[in-house]
Amino acid sequence: MHSFLEGLNDNQLESIITTDVPLRVIAGAGSGKTRVITNKIAYLVEQEQINPFKILAVTFTNKAANEMKNRIKKISHNKYTIPHIMTFHAFCVRVLREDYELLNLKKDFVIIDTSEQEKIIRKLLKTLNLDDSKNKPERKIISKISKWKSSFVTWDDAYESSFNPTDKSYAKVYRDYEDYLKENGYVDFDDLLLKVHALLKYNIETRKKWINRFSYILVDEFQDTNNVQYDLIKWLTDKRGCLTVVGDPDQTIYSWRGAKVNIILNFEREFQNARTILLDQNYRSTKPILDLANSFIQNNKNREDKNIYTQKKEGEKVEVKECATKYFEAKYIAKKIEELVKNHKYAYSDIFVLYRINAWSVDFEKEFANSKIPFQLVGGFQFRDRKVIKDVTALLKAIAIKDNFSFERVFSFVPKVGAVTADRLFNCAEENDLNMFELLTQREDLVAKISKHLGEITNVLRDCNQMFLDNKPVVEIASYAINKSGYKERLDLKDKDGVDSSENLNAYLDQMRRFDNDYEANESDGNRLIKFLQEETLNMTSEDIFETPNKVTLMTIHAAKGLENKVIFIVGLSSDVFPSRMSMYSKEGLEEERRTFYVAITRAQERLYISYVSGEYSYLANGEFGPSRFINELDPNLYSIEKSIFFHSSTEMSSKKYDSGVVETVPQKLDAGVKTGEIIEHLMFGEGVVNKIMDKYIQVSFSNPAYGTKLIPISSNSWNKK
């Protein structure tokens, strides 16, 4: 037996050696799916004798792709590499580089990121006299355009089907946005998928070429697949048995990105002779955590039935905490973290605090800072958002792509060239039908009339452009540019987030050096700087960047997907927050929220804490917070609960009364003083009918439709029986 097949359980082994039929691997949380995928790739090469270049493995994040590549290197002891382990977007870039002419693209097409999209939208809004700088609708418009494009809705169809003036205006922006991209040779992230989809759908010869390119295809995180990605997979496999998909329907939490849970659920109907293998042994979590997760997710009906088990029989019971306010919730968890670090020898980096919405982090940030608990906020300032990284990238784009967006940033760090001078330069270029690169390097007579401070940067652009045309290494071009332009000499010692700018710059140069080495090893064709810039744009998703210093990590549950840690706090399990109010309008929405909570639970390895706020008025809940319905769906035999203590002040909260006054108990039913069907009067919501009486709450349907049905604490003095 090959060494990489040793130590596998029976289902893992069967998943790897099954290669003759389309295979669906339902991989429960923590069941070793990445190990299965990477070991199967090794099996295909060493046992099935498939050329590594004929294997395609696609996933959803660069982090996951890089992890697979590193594991393959270890398994093979660097005997071979698998060049086609990549995200869906990266695969589509590979296709477009080769078949760009068939789609009327330029060879060196430019991939624009979100910040560049926003600049384009702002420009178009001004052109259409729709400028709304106060409300800043750019991101909303980008999201709207993305949904239209991904649903194959043209701008005129969007315009005709829109009933309000705002959406009709957005449709016009959509029209001009698409024209702008086409005129400038730009593609956005949606285009990468959609253009390849169109190519393979309508050009049968090209589709055959790509079918023959790959002998086996593997798809990771298959539950996150949307219809466009699914079509690509079906076309590339062409009804052959050379397909393995791995995923977990219970972890489909990206429907807002187009993911369709029914794609993985209906796999066996779509692929003839398909098989399913279940990975149901969890290697991550303790039994108490898994028992709670298994029990909870069974409330969903549209799922593949499974019960994940573990051989870790021991473990701490899950703890649920009811808190009087958001402030007390943060205070309680800060104290619990201090206890874990001091008495149970956990490091701060062993702890995640997860929440459904970003807005829930505010109280925790304040309390952790006051309590001197080191923490990091995922979704904050990321590596590629650093000024020095954006500056150098803009300089490289100005050299290779010569786009005006990049020159806007370049001028911002050229000494003695302010906004007025930059505007005059752009106007001059437009009047003479030149791009900015041509103006600076070919019409120095015009430039000299505007500014005498551009000689240094012009020489750098000219020299580096020749290096670019000669296909010199990226790190060589970048080093020359930042040194000769004086940028490195003028570099601020610290950026605005207090991080050493030179360290960030050196890390970026190291990244370029690694790219150059891989480029040489793979004997790639095409210009290396263009390829680097295209790949760098693909890498600009914050979810792929995750550092683990010795700090508590605060992040959303969606950001935590794919991660795990020893201690997990899931906070904010309050009504109208989690599940969200919008999800309550549909069965599908509620089931996705339930899957999101399931994902959060299964991040925990050793200890799990769940908390919610009850009794505090909040605009988030449009009333008083109560426990999430998910709290009521948890099996009370599988957790202990600490009841809420209502304090009159923060001083009382920090007293000994707090330390000794929290009692571990099970939910107790209070006397409501009303019966089902009786009418109450609420201080804010008016009259309502009691629908249901629970342990500590009454469910009330209010006469005013604006308030609908709410949970009201029995102990609250905000209501009376009529």
Please say if 503 is a catalytic residue: no
Please report the pLDDT score of residue 655 as a whole number.
42
What is the average pLDDT value for the chain, to the nearest integer? Answer: 85
Look at residue 23 and tell me whether its pLDDT is greater than 90: yes
Residues 670/695, Cβ–Cβ less than 8 Å: yes
* Residue 70 · residue 35 · CB < 8 Å: no
**Cα 250 to Cα 269: distance, rounded to the nearest angstrom:** 19
Where on the phi/psi map is residue 36: left (φ > 0), alpha (ψ -120 to 50), or beta? alpha
Tell how far CA 59 is from the center of its chain. 13
Burial class (CB in 10 A: 0-12, 13-18, 19+), 602: buried
Q: Residues 365-373: contacts with CB within 8 Å, 24+ apart?
A: 365/554, 366/330, 367/327, 367/330, 367/331, 367/333, 367/334, 368/330, 368/334, 368/552, 368/554, 371/334, 371/338, 373/334, 373/337, 373/338, 373/348, 373/552
| Model confidence at 489: pLDDT above 90 | no
251 is catalytic: yes
Check residue 332 and give its pLDDT: 92
Phi, psi (5° rounding) for residue 647? -105, 155
| Selection from 385, 386, 427 nearest residue 404 by Cα | 427
How large is the C-alpha radius of gyration of the chain?
29
Catalytic residue among 24, 33, 63, 594: 33
pLDDT, residue 658, reads: 39
Q: Check the CA dihedral 50-51-54-60 and report its sign.
A: positive
Burial label for 259, CB within 10 Å (0-12, 13-18, 19+), is buried
Q: Select which of 531, 603, 607, 696 is catalytic.
A: 603
**Residue 689, Cα to own-chain centre: how many angstroms?**
42
The structure tokens listed for 401 are 């792509």
Annotated active-site residue 528? The verdict is no
What integer pLDDT is reported at residue 253 of this predicted model? 85
Residue 1, pLDDT score: 56
Handedness of CA 425, 431, 433, 439 (dihedral sign): negative
Whether 289 contacts 599, CB under 8 Å: no
Please report, in range form, the residues annotated as the binding site: 27-34
Q: How confident is the model at residue 630 (pLDDT cuts 50, 70, 90)?
A: very high
Active-site annotation holder among 188, 220, 329, 576? 220
Stretch 491-501: mean pLDDT: 57
Instruction: Give the best-scoring range by mean pLDDT among 54-68, 283-297, 410-424.
Output: 283-297
Strand 243-247, strand 351-355: pairing: unpaired
The number of angstroms, rounded, from the C-alpha of 605 to the middle of its chain's C-alpha atoms is 22
Residue for token pair 């829930």: 360
Nearest to 615 by CA among 644, 653, 652: 644
pLDDT at 565 over 90: yes
For the stretch 567-581, pLDDT in tens is 999 999 998 889 887
Instruction: Tell me the per-residue pLDDT of 46-84, one tens digit each, with 9 for 90 and over.
Output: 899 999 999 999 998 888 888 898 889 888 887 888 889
Q: List pLDDT tens digits, range 140-191.
A: 899 889 989 988 999 989 988 888 888 888 999 999 999 999 888 889 999 9
Out of 12, 87, 117, 251, pick the active-site residue: 251
CA angle at 662 for the pair 658 and 663, rounded to the nearest 5°: 160
pLDDT above 80: residue 443: yes
Residue 526 C-beta-side C-alpha neighbours within 13 Å: 22
CA dist 130 and 142 (Å) reads 15
The annotated binding site for ATP is made up of 27-34
| Predicted local distance difference test score (pLDDT) of residue 525 | 63
**Distance set, CA 676 to CA 681, 683, 689, 700, 712 (Å):** 14, 20, 8, 9, 14
Residue that the structure tokens 């991550």 belong to: 284
Active site residue 178: no
Confidence of residue 614 (pLDDT cuts 50, 70, 90): confident
Helix, coil or strand: residue 565: strand
- Averaged pLDDT, 118-137: 80
The pLDDT of residue 220: 93
Nearest to 291 by CA among 638, 662, 650: 638
| Alpha-carbon separation of residue 553 from 219, 294, 574 (angstroms) | 29, 26, 21
Count Cβ atoms below 10 Å from residue 629 Cβ, excluding itself.
17
Q: CA-based angle 100:103:108, to the nearest 5?
A: 35
C-alpha span between 367 and 569 (Å, rounded): 15
pLDDT 10s digits, 681-718: 887 778 888 888 876 778 888 887 666 777 777 877 77
* pLDDT tens digit sequence for 513-549: 878 887 765 555 678 898 888 887 876 544 444 455 7
**Which pLDDT score is estimated for 644?**
63
Other CB atoms within a 10 A radius of the CB of residue 301 amount to 7
Residue 331 annotated among the catalytic residues of the structure: no
**Residue 33 designated active-site:** yes
Catalytic one of 18, 19, 34, 699: 34
Structure tokens at 48: 């099935």
